[in-house]
């Protein structure tokens, strides 16, 4: 009997790789999965995609610089999702409610399902106290961060299991008082169904294609990427770049590119998020992936884009943040010091000109993928959720075993459907 799982995420399902990847992996093994997410233009309100039922709630996603507006937008989503989540629960009786942060407080939308027997999983995409201290600097950041620590503590206490995205985050949650028995790690490894490994690198003839994809934010160093690419292109005119993604920093980055004389076909920006399938096709056509992050705090992200580049088989130029440096070295990526535009530009030029170096990084990436890829991490997800429903699953196994024994003896016991 499959698990019945509700996932709730303040995001667009079709462009959020973690939410989509985890939901589809669970559906593929036979679980009944429903995802509640934000509506997207041109997408149906309710649909089934790759075995996952997706319910889209019509409201805009806020991206900006005002903490009050973030809180208001999060609050509006929690109010909107509450009724359809409860209605579905009373119809289907979810075994698990899987909450994808942010915000942490969204976990309390699962209060009624939890009281009626559902287990609650809190999937920590980011740690909100640290993230908002970076986003809102100074006293405002300290006040907001302090308040969010209280919310995070309450949310992790309420949840039955807490999933971290990498070891740094796991250790921070442990230090914050989350007991080890509640914690698990499911890394943002790329889904091989969407990002299968390439058999060979695209031919390098007249151009070497660089790609950045994902949210366009200041802390992700998108402006640094544009400056570095401009310098690199002056030295190596074969370099071309695409920046695919939306975010609250698109206008500033586009203006910077224009001021540096960058325009199509040398440099292109989508200015908005694109479906994962379109991103995957663009990655497969690229020669170099760029990760310019400047967010070098303890819980700096292990960028999903980096893991997608590795999975497909393109060499990456990446900032040596504390988190990236924990998992990647100079043998697996072309690393540069955080914020150093000249080093980033030099790395782009070096990889554009050195085919042997690109091939060596691709080979090292395959070995990295074998150790940390999605085939490994999805088993961590399965074990975490199955452990929460151990009694139910054990009861079903016993019933099925009894039915098998009954067939041998002629005494038939029908297992539960």
The CATH number corresponding to 208-368 among 3.40.640.10, 3.40.50.2000, 3.20.19.10, 3.30.70.940 equals: 3.40.50.2000
Could you tell me the residue ranges of all domains in the chain?
A: 4-189+373-401, 208-368
Give the Cα separation of 337 and 346 in Å (integer): 12
CA 120 – CA 126 distance, rounded (Å)? 18
Identify which of 10, 7, 19, 9 has the alpha carbon closest to the alpha carbon of residue 276: 19
Q: Is 102:125 a contact under the CB 8 Å cutoff?
A: yes
**How far is it, in rounded angstroms, from Cα 276 to Cα 282?**
10
Instruction: Decide if 19 contacts 35 (C-beta within 8 A).
Output: yes
Q: Are 243 and 270 in contact (CB under 8 A)?
A: yes
Q: pLDDT tens digits for the chain (417 residues)?
A: 689 999 999 999 988 889 999 999 999 999 999 999 999 888 899 999 999 999 999 876 655 555 567 678 888 899 999 999 999 999 989 999 999 998 999 999 999 999 999 999 999 998 888 877 777 666 666 777 788 899 999 999 999 999 999 998 999 999 999 999 999 999 999 989 889 999 888 888 889 999 999 999 998 999 999 999 999 999 999 999 999 999 889 999 999 999 999 999 999 999 988 888 899 999 999 999 999 998 766 656 788 899 999 999 999 999 999 889 999 999 999 999 999 999 999 999 999 999 999 999 999 999 999 999 999 999 999 999 999 998 877 766 676 677 666 665 565 555 555
Is the overall model pTM greater than 0.85, yes or no? no
Rounded Cα gap, residues 109 and 97, in angstroms: 9
User: 241 exposed, middle or buried (CB, 10 Å; 0-12, 13-18, 19+)?
Assistant: buried
**Of 309, 280, 304, residue with least CA distance to 22:** 304
Do the two domains 4-189+373-401 and 208-368 of this chain adopt the same fold? Answer: yes
Cβ(178)–Cβ(296) below 8 Å = no
Cα 349 to Cα 329: distance, rounded to the nearest angstrom: 19
Q: Which CATH architecture has domain 4-189+373-401?
A: 3-Layer(aba) Sandwich (3.40)
E-assigned strand segments in 77-130: 96-100, 119-123
């Amino acid at each position: 009997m499959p698990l019945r799982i509700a996932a709730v995420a303040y995001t667009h399902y079709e462009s959020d790789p973690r939410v989509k990847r985890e939901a589809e992996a669970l559906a593929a093994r036979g679980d009944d999965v429903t995802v509640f997410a934000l509506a997207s233009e041109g997408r149906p309100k309710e649909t089934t995609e790759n075995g996952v039922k997706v319910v889209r709630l019509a409201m805009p996603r806020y991206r900006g610089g005002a903490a009050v507006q973030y809180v208001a937008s999060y609050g509006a989503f929690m109010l909107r999702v509450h009724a359809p989540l409860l209605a579905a629960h009373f119809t289907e009786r979810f075994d698990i409610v899987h909450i994808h942060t942010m915000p942490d407080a969204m976990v309390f939308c699962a209060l009624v399902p939890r009281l009626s027997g559902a287990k609650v999983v809190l999937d920590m995409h980011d740690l909100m106290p640290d993230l908002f201290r970076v986003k809102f600097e100074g006293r405002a950041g300290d006040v907001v961060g302090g308040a969010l620590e209280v919310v995070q503590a309450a949310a992790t206490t309420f949840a039955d299991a807490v999933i971290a995205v990498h070891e740094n985050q796991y250790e921070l949650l442990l230090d914050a008082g989350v007991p080890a028995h509640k914690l698990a790690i499911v890394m943002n490894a790329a889904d091989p169904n969407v990002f299968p490994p390439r058999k060979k690198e695209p031919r390098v003839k007249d151009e070497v294609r660089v790609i950045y994809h994902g949210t366009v934010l200041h802390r992700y160093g998108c402006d640094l990427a544009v400056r570095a690419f401009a310098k690199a292109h002056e030295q190596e005119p074969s370099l071309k770049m695409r920046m695919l993604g939306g975010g609250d920093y698109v206008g500033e980055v586009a203006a910077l590119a224009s001021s540096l004389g960058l325009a199509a076909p040398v440099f292109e920006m989508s200015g908005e998020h694109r479906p994962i399938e379109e991103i995957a096709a663009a990655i497969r056509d690229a020669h170099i992936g760029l990760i310019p992050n400047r967010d070098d705090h303890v819980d700096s992200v292990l960028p999903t884009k980096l893991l997608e580049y590795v999975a497909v088989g393109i060499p990456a130029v990446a900032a040596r943040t504390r988190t990236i440096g924990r998992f990647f070295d100079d043998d697996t990526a072309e690393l540069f010091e955080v914020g150093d535009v000249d080093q980033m530009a030099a790395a782009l030029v070096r990889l554009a000109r050195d085919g042997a170096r690109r091939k060596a990084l691709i080979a090292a990436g395959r070995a990295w993928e074998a150790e940390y890829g999605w085939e490994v991490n999805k088993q961590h997800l399965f074990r975490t959720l199955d452990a929460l429903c151990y009694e139910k699953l054990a009861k079903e196994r016993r019933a099925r075993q009894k039915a098998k024994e009954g067939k041998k003896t002629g005494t038939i016991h029908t297992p539960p459907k």
